[in-house]
Chain A
Amino acid sequence: MTMTLDHLQDRAVEVAASVTDPELPMLTLEDLGVLRDVRVAHDGSVTVTITPTYSGCPAMATMRDDLVLRLQQAGFDRVDVAVALAPAWSSDWITERGRRALAEHGISPPGRAPTVTGPVALLLAPTRRDVRCPRCASTDVEVTSEFGSTACRAMYRCRACLEPFDHVKEI
């Protein structure tokens, strides 16, 4: 039985879209918005294009290796992973499903990313965000640090239930 190119294409997209983020395993790379393109060529080789979340994101190499591994396990022998640097990744690319998955796992999803026209304004007061505690839904929360366990997260604490939690930053 030979599969048509369309079938192979669908299959490759399905496999690539199911690979999860190594640091946010409740999210697929598709939900995170990192997976930009999957293309099967006539010779059966696959090219997957991903966009880094942050310039120094150390998870990129693992994402690349996971994509190659999973696609090879699915029968695609030749897999290339290319990088698309432009447009830069935005937290707005996280899907609705991804946002729900984050919240269900105790991580507060990002709000709308700021759009910048002209010089970027300096912000000396704490960043104001519409953040809810993912555990008790209280809005009485405070930021403890704009930098957290990974490049994409800030640290918060809930003043109602006193639990600390992560928030995915808007960029």
Chain B
Amino acid sequence: MSDQPDVHTHEPDEHDNAYAGLLVNDAHWAFGTDFEDPLAGVDTTVPDGVARADLAAYCLMLADDALILSHRLSEWCSHAPDLEEDIALANVALDLLGQARLLLARAAAADPAVVPSLPEGSPVPDEDALAFFRDARDFRNVRLCEVPNGDFAETVARLLVFSCWRLALLQRLSTSSDAVLAAVAAKGVKEVTYHRDFAGRWFLTLARGTEESRRRLVTALNELWPLYAELFLTHEVEGRVAEVGVGVDPAEVAGEVDVVLDQVLAVSGVERPAAPGLAGVQGKRGRDGMHTEAQSRLLAEMQVVARAHPMGRW
């Protein structure tokens, strides 16, 4: 045993530069190295009978619903009522973001014409170009996804309505003749099942909680209700892709979604609102790229950094 105290010394360079350790194994930096195609190795052949432009537009619709609501949910990060709910909302947002990424990549593979053009040599992958470099009018999400979060009750009410609807769509879509859509949908069913249960339980909890929680929940549902009818309107693209077995006509799921929602409303003792659907602008709605003002504000925040650096490598 030595009398000397065990003094740890290090090479002068080892700790003087905070970044030195990061350079040892560059492979661990997923966002600094090559950001590969999320559909690497996946067969992206377009099935017979569907126009490429229709398939791409339909993928954008499903992708944009997920992307825009994911962004809204992520706005709760560090603001939720407690840590568990903060983590839960972030998890739901992450699942939807993952679905959006695959669907955007599928849209780009189906019809490269939908991808905004970027400066020559830009490293931005197609799915990011679609997320960050399209204008509000090119987004095809339903308006339910874009309206601001409101309070926790409004977020819960929206997530419940959205999850009931999306789960019904994805379940049918899992037998799509497009192999990529079928796979993304089958995966999404498992995820959205958890989202719907989460939202349903909170809906019930708030409805049966205090007078204040119930008041807020009922107000939230009433305010969102004008956006409900739009979920089941058949856009011409949806009609065409449904006809050839690639997509789902949303009108088909209206009955099923009604039943599930009524189940939650009944247990919660909340009446189904009667407000009529929010009109479009000259008959055009979210699926046509006609959005509320909130969409532009959301995109401005979501896209600003990417748009400032079209040659950026992240």
Contact = CB atoms under 8 A, between A and B. Distances in A.
A142 to B, nearest CB: 12
B101 interface: yes
A62 B26 CA distance: 11
A55 B171 contact: no
Interface string B1-41: 00000000000000000000000010110110101101111
B204 A120 contact: no
B102 A146 contact: no
Nearest to B182: A86
B94 A122 contact: no
Interface stretch (B84-92, B109-117, B236-244, B296-304): B84-92
Interface string B22-63: 000101101101011011111000000000000000000000
Interface stretch (B146-154, B187-195, B283-291): B187-195
B78 interface: no
Interface stretch (B119-127, B134-142, B259-267, B269-277): B259-267
Contacts of B180: 85
Contacts of B25: 69
Contacts of B39: 83, 85
Nearest to B193: A120
A145 B84 contact: yes
A124 B197 contact: yes
Contacts of B179: 86
Size bracket of the A interface: 35 or more
A122 B200 contact: yes
A55 B101 CA distance: 9
A56 B95 contact: yes
A121 B154 CA distance: 23
Contact of B27 (A57, A65, A80, A148): A65
A88 B31 CA distance: 25
Contacts of A76: none
Contact of A144 (B28, B84, B189, B198): B84
Given A55-B95, A124-B204, A171 B260 contact: no
A127 B197 contact: yes
Contacts of B182: 86
Contacts of A84: 41-42
Contacts of B171: 119-120
A146 B198 contact: yes
Contacts, number: 131
B159 to A, nearest CB: 12
Size bracket of the B interface: 35 or more
Contacts of A54: 94-95, 98, 187, 191
Interface in A61-79: 61-62, 64-66, 68-69
B215 interface: no
A3 interface: no
Interface in A98-134: 116, 119-120, 122-127
A82 B27 contact: no
19 contacts: A47-B41, A49-B41, A55-B98, A55-B187, A56-B98, A56-B99, A56-B101, A58-B30, A62-B28, A62-B30, A65-B30, A66-B27, A83-B41, A84-B41, A119-B168, A122-B196, A124-B204, A124-B267, A147-B87
Interface of A: 47, 49, 52, 54-58, 61-62, 64-66, 68-69, 80-89, 116, 119-120, 122-127, 144-149, 151, 155, 169, 171
Given A65-B30, A88-B186, A89-B187, 16 more contacts: A54-B98, A55-B95, A61-B36, A81-B40, A81-B41, A82-B40, A85-B184, A88-B190, A116-B189, A119-B171, A122-B196, A124-B200, A145-B88, A147-B92, A147-B198, A148-B91
Task: Please name the 5 residue pairs, one residue from A and one from B, whose CB atoms are nearest each other, closest first.
Answer: A82-B41, A56-B98, A55-B98, A61-B30, A85-B183
